[in-house]
Amino acid sequence: MSTPKTQTCPLLRLPQELRDKVYTYYLTEDEGYHHNPEMNKLRYSDERQIVFAFMYTCKQIYEEMKELPLKVNSVTFTTFFPIERPGMPRIADFNRH
């Protein structure tokens, strides 16, 4: 006989309001998320990968957390000018014809 997850996981025994505070504390980044245009991904401001491991521990926690990362963090986008690389055509080269 299996036991429900709420009985085996102390976190899930807490009221939803307290779990939401735990989730918010875990996800909140002081400087928010920053878009890395070279990788086209969101990152922490210091370029570290955003870690959502806690969110993927079980289906119930995922369902309760899935909308929070973008609700509790700002997202910063910046203008991107790619660095020219040897052997790669410049944008102007495509407009010559």
Sign of the CA dihedral 29, 34, 38, 40? Answer: positive
* Structure confidence by residue, pLDDT tens digits, 48-88: 999 999 999 999 999 999 999 999 999 999 876 666 666 65
* Structure confidence by residue, pLDDT tens digits, 12-52: 999 999 999 999 999 999 999 999 888 889 999 999 999 99
List, in order, residues 6 or more apart from 6 with CB less than 8 Å away.
12, 13
For the entire predicted model, the pTM comes to: 0.70
* 8-state DSSP, 73: S
Domain boundaries, the chain: 15-78
